[in-house]
Structure 1
Amino acid sequence: MTQKSIPSFWRILHRFAPYLQKQSLLLITAVFALFAEVVLRLLEPWPLKFVFDYILIDAPDKNISILNRFDPVTLLTLSAFGLIAITALRAIASYWSTVSLALASSRILTEIREQLYRHLQCLSLSYHTKARSGDLLVRISTDTTRLQEIVLTAVMPLIVSIMTLLGMIGIMIWIDRDLTLLALITLPFFWFAATRLSERIQQASRQQRQREGAVAATLAESIGAIKLVQALSLQDAFANVFSQANHRSLKESVKTQRLSASLERTVDVVIAIGTAIVLWYGARLALRDHLTPGDVLVFLTYLKQAFKPIQNFAKYTGRLSKAVASGERVLDILDETPEVDDSPFAIVAPPFQGYVRFDCVSFAYQAGNPLLKAIELDVKPGQQVALVGTSGSGKSTLLSLLLRLYDPTEGRVMIDGRDIRDYTLKSLRTQISVVMQDSLLFAATVWENIGYGVPDATHAQIEAAVRLANAHEFVEALPQGYDTILGERGSTLSGGQRQRLAIARAAIRQAPILILDEPTTGLDKHNEKAVITALESVAKNRTTFLITHDLTLAAHADLILYLENGQILEQGTHSQLIQLNKKYTSLYQMQSPADRENKKQEISR
């Protein structure tokens, strides 16, 4: 990990410090066990020293007088049992440190992933329209997993390696200072290699994560639109795009692995050089009786173990560089602030009466390019309003402002005489029901799909909403009735059936305001009639906004708005707009007279 990545490393640790604090008991246990492991690791070579200096050879300097009282066999036995005891205790300490760290890291990872998911759910619609869903999936699943390395599984072992290294260097200096300084002469070479290669590893890791995000995004797009892909024979085109993204990801992955391997092998060479120097000089000191053979053995053992933390440092440096790259990608999302959020003074909305006002509302996705311009509109409680006009005229955007999916650039959207920004988002949106053109159903039972609208709804309430939506008959005919698990996005149902279940989900909320966005588009006559009947039942006594291209359906509204280029050019009842003989009349006359007559008869039945 380079100096450039250290600020990112501390930024990540600081951001997730609260999660570490929650697991303080486990972490304290782990740290205590790690300290014990370090101490026991430092003691491991000493039984071998006693065997060499007090049993195998007659060392000239036997400076531990108490050991001279034991006969060789007893001392050998004690050394053997001592070695077993030290190793066993170290194994126990290692076990508790591993288990504690694993449990703490898993809990922390779970919380981080949940926070990331919740934060993504709260980000404004403008963010999600720009982000690629596949890349977001990679950040939630893979990048958060790699954070486990940066939080615990690399950081804590790295700390142990540093502590072990410092402890061993201290004892080595105590044994022989000159030999220690000679051994450490290789450290600058290691530091140079680690610093140089780690920076390249982090850059390659960041590129690799981006490539993997692109692969996942391409996969999500093609799978999400598999029906269209197969219908238009686009399999090869998408396969080529996926293949290119996949190979770019592979290239970056190979580069990262190659750099990591280079770093570890460089450290191996440095270790070999240091060991050779110590072996040559230490043996000469032993021949001159400046050190005992046991001292040389302990020194070489320590040196080997001291370099092991250095090897681990090289390994963990590469892992940390990869984890830092992943952590930055997670923090990039968490640092995103929702453009639409509760104000500090937001209150819980009281039950709405349904009086809606757009007060000189303008809106632009990009500055200087307004999509809605000075919209003035008053809608009375229980009134049904139809929005018609050319595609791209701002109809859906206008109602998105009512839901606070966006906030106006200028002006105010008001409900019951108060700016909706004064209310909390949850209390606002729970009083507005929505039925979209492409109704989204989930891979769950019918009970659950309808109950998502009101989590505490009873089965009786859900069935009543389904009956109101004219859907009870076909639901009962499903293989397991209301317990039938629907396919993802409701793929096992027809368009009309999906739409009626969506209407039931809107109906169970019993919200005073209802938004219908092209609810009958793409339906055959039979399903369209059933949906219209269901909509009429649900819309009773509710302030209803209907976006539609079907002017026969719009003609029954209390108020019709004709929008063009982000402005309301005409408004009034159907008869009033026909008398004006302007844009609405022209659009109405373009529809087939036969279609209009059939629609009128179907609606009147």
Structure 2
Amino acid sequence: MTSATGPGAHASASSLGRMVRHMLPYLRQQKKLAAGGVLAMLTEVVLRVAEPWPVKYVIDALSVSLGARLDGDLAPATLWLLLVCGGCALALAMLRAMASFLTTLAFALTGSRIATRLRADLYQHVQRLSVQYHRTTPQGDLVQRLVADIGRLQEVAVTAGLPLMGNMLTLVAMSGVMLWLNPPLTLCVLGCAAAFVLATRYSAPKITAAARKTRKQEGALASLAHETLGAIAVVQAYGLESALSRRFAGANQKSLTEGVRARRLAAALERATDVLVALAVGTVLFFGGLQVLRSEMTPGDLVLFLTYMKTTMKPLRDVAKYSGRIARAAASGERVMQVLRQQPAISNAADARPCSEPVRGELHFDRVWSDYGGAPVLKGVELHIRAGEHVALVGASGAGKSSLAALVMRLQDPARGEVRLDGRPLRSLTLASLRAQVAVVHQEPVLFAMSIRDNIRMGNLAADETAIVAAARQADALAFIQVLPAGFDTVLGERGETLSGGQRQRIAIARALLRDAAVVVLDEVTSGLDSRAAQAVLNSLDRLIRARTTLVITHDFDVAMRCERIIWLEDGRVVESGPRDALLAGDGRFARWGAERAPATRSTEGKYDD
């Protein structure tokens, strides 16, 4: 159990404080709108303070008319007095309603704009985080933080934060008026308020902790659903529906348990607040009634004081009512801040400059070491690749082939050593200009749920229709695109699943062609394709890599034989490097690997030679 002054309370207040500090720059961007909302709120508070006074005058006047003796030579009720007080009450209510409307509108717009900007910044920030981060972070949970958690922050800011802010201002104003009206009764009310503060300090950390666990479980649920639906073909093929449903149900039950606990704690606080409010009302009725009987205050004063007291106690009710929402918002805010505090592993150096044009594509790896998860992958690699050279990176899985290519794109940086492009260290180049010089075709081509035209245009967002069609033609994709009912306007399914593997690869090649980069990385581009589709893809690649520096990552001997130079990696080191024919004629690893293949498999030998 966490006490009110224990670590839980401090952690909750600290995290809430960090979240508020992080939101201040966004709030400053909307300072005019927010200031207008504050002004409208202050107007509403003033009108709320003034609103009960017509009732006081009417009650006192009616009491005098009924024969009561009141101090202050109060006049009896008249038609004119009733009319004026009724009109004032109506006018004050209407003005307060208008001020309340303007306050709600101003703060709703402020909250929406802040949430929109925060979500955009978070999305941009997430895209800058390292590939390693994304590999170890559940994607469903990231989406939950990006969409649901920021949405909850916005909702609570408008539905709970705004009313609480206004009511706290009202509490201060009303308390001042009550002290002026009757200090002894005010002390009774403040005593009940103090008891509420103690109850809140005891309950709030527990509610926040339960809400934090709920949000964590909801994130786990989203990740599980994302993972399952993303692999639905495997799930159905292996008959895993029941097993995964049970796993989802278990996670769902945990989320339900924590959610119910948070709501139970919030409900208990709310009921305790009702008791405290009732105690305050009863105390004021008793002692205030005695004062009226002693002629120490008028009946109108008692009604006025009771009205102020009930208005003053409203913030206490709201804190209890909204405590669950506020706790869930605090938990959501923590989750958003956790992502924003993640620093990108790769960023522009202070003195980074754009690539000079034109880029030739010469690469030099100077005693490069790299690691993955703390374990060394590349170990002192020394390698020079000439501009326009076609190089096959071969070797067993885990030898470091993909790490070598990742270094070229600065998806990771060397732990030691240096990689240079055209003699310039990669760290001295801006990320955008460097990556603009590299085109990648992956083993599993990544296509987006948009039209074929837009998928190809992703290679060069400034490309016109003529360039897009030309790229599709060069990639041997134009024929099958034109057969589709909507042609280039055909919208693909998620990850391009509506196309065959070979068609997806050719769309990816067209995108790479449109990029017109100096360096091309081909990562197992024919893996999983039948011989006919693989041959079509390889023919398309001939046009892509012509006169470009090309790194071909492959386990396919035929694909390796299409390159003019072979680099054999083993345990993070280059153990063989040289012309294809020279290595094949020797007795090294590549020659032994080639000897295991039938001669007939070498029909495509030399295809990549210029």
Q: For residues 540 and 601 of structure 1, do their structure 2 counterparts lie closer, same or farther at Cα, with a shift above 3 Å needed?
A: closer
Q: Is the counterpart of residue 157 in structure 1 residue 163 in structure 2?
A: yes
The alpha-carbon deviation at position 600 of structure 1 amounts to 5.1
1:32 paired with 2:57, answer: no
Equivalent-residue separation in structure 2 for 1:313 and 1:601 (angstroms): 76
SS at 1:21 equivalent: helix
Contact 2:16 2:330 in 1 (8 A): yes
Q: Which residue of 2 aligns with 1:483?
A: 489
Q: How far is 1:542 from its partner?
A: 0.4
CA distance in 1, matches of 2:162, 2:151: 16
The SS at the match of 1:336 is coil
Is 1:421 the counterpart of 2:427? The answer is yes
Following superposition, the deviation at residue 10 of structure 1 comes to: 2.3
CA deviations 1:246-266 (Å, max 9, x no partner) are 111111111111111111111
* More off after superposition, 50-59 vs 427-436: 50-59
Provide the residue aligned with 2:391 in structure 1.
385
Q: Which residue of 2 aligns with 1:357?
A: 364
Do 1:198 and 1:321's aligned partners in 2 also have CA atoms closer than 8 Å?
A: yes
Deviation at 1:152, TM superposition (A): 5.4
Residue identity matched to 1:556: R
Cα separation, 2, equivalents of 1:233 and 1:589:
41
Matching of residue 315 in structure 1 with residue 315 in structure 2? no
TM-aligned CA deviation for residue 62 of structure 1: 5.5
CA–CA separation in structure 1 for the residues paired with 2:450 and 2:165: 47
Contact 2:61 2:77 in 1 (8 A): no
Deviation at 1:601, TM superposition (A): 11
Q: What is the CA-CA distance between 1:296 and the residue it aligns to? A: 1.0
Match of 2:577 among 571, 576, 588: 571
1:602/1:360 CA distance change after superposition, 3 Å: closer
Which residue identity is paired with 2:70? D
Give distance in 2, aligned partners of 1:162 and 1:4. Answer: 24
Aligned pair partner of 2:534 in 507, 528, 531: 528
TM-score between the two structures when normalised by the length of structure 1? 0.96
Match of 2:335 among 310, 323, 329: 329
Matched, 1:124 2:133: no
* Equivalent residue for 1:12, pick from 15, 19, 23: 19
Report whether the alignment pairs 1:60 with 2:60: no
Matches within 5 A, 1:363-512: 363-367=370-374, 369-512=375-518
Query: What is the distance in 1 between the residues matched to 2:521 and 2:606?
Result: 25
Partner SS for 1:412: strand
One-letter identity of the residue aligned with 1:364? D
Secondary structure in 2 matching 1:5: helix
Contact persistence 1:54–1:62 (CA under 8 A): no
Q: Please list the CA deviations of residues 340-398 of structure 1 after superposition, one character each: whole Å capped at 9, or x if unmatched.
A: 1111111011131111111111111133x211111111111111000111111111111
**Counterpart in 1 of 2:195?**
189
Letter in 2 for 1:554: A
CA distance in 2, matches of 1:5, 1:603: 62
**Paired residues of 1:529 and 1:603 also in contact (CA < 8 A):** no
What is the CA–CA distance in structure 2 between the aligned matches of 1:326 and 1:178, rounded to whole Å? 43
SS of 2:163's equivalent in the other structure is: helix
Does the CA contact (< 8 Å) of 1:515 and 1:545 recur in 2? Answer: yes
What amino acid does structure 1 have at the position aligned with 2:510?
A: A
Deviates more, 1:571-580 or 1:535-544: 571-580
User: Measured at CA, do residues 345 and 153 of structure 1 come closer, stay the same or move farther in structure 2, by a change above 3 Å?
Assistant: farther
Measured after TM superposition, the shift of residue 148 of structure 1 is: 2.0
User: Helix, strand or coil for the counterpart of 1:230?
Assistant: helix
Identify which of 41, 47, 55 aligns with 1:48.
55
For the Cα contact (< 8 Å) 2:561–2:602, is it kept in 1? no
1:134-153 per-residue CA deviation (whole Å, 9 max, x = no partner) reads: 11011001111222256555
CA deviations over 1:26-76 (Å, ceiling 9, x no partner): 1111111111111111122111111110124445336487xx4x8611111
Tell me if structure 1 keeps the 8 A contact 2:390–2:608. Answer: no
Note closer, same or farther for the CA distance 1:357–1:338 as it changes in structure 2 (3 Å cut).
Answer: same
The one-letter code matched in structure 1 to 2:12 is: S
Q: Which residue of 1 aligns with 2:85?
A: 79
On the 8 A contact 1:101/1:153 being kept in 2, the answer is no
Which deviates more, 449-458 or 545-554?
545-554
Aligned length: 599
**Aligned amino acid, residue 572 of structure 1:** G
Alignment of 1:97-176 (within 5 A): 97-148=103-154, 153-176=159-182
CA–CA separation in structure 1 for the residues paired with 2:188 and 2:264: 31
Cα distance in 1 between the residues matched to 2:466 and 2:18: 52
Task: Answer yes or no: is 1:297 the counterpart of 2:306.
Answer: no
* Mapped partners of 1:105, 1:98: distance in 2: 10
For each residue in 1:93-112, what CA deviation from the matched residue of structure 2 results, as whole angstroms up to 9, or x when unmatched?
A: 00000011111110110000
CA offset digits 1:259-296 (Å, max 9, x no partner):
11111111001111111111111111111211111111
Deviates more, 1:151-160 or 1:488-497: 151-160
Give every structure 1 segment of 4 or more consecutive aligned residues whose post-TM-superposition deviation is greater than 6 Å: 601-604
Q: Secondary structure at the match of 2:154?
A: helix
**C-alpha offsets along residues 430-477 of structure 1, whole Å, 9 cap, x if unaligned?**
110000010011111111000011111000000101111011101101
Q: 1:497 to 1:166 in 2, by over 3 A?
A: same
In angstroms, what is the RMSD of aligned CA positions? 1.8
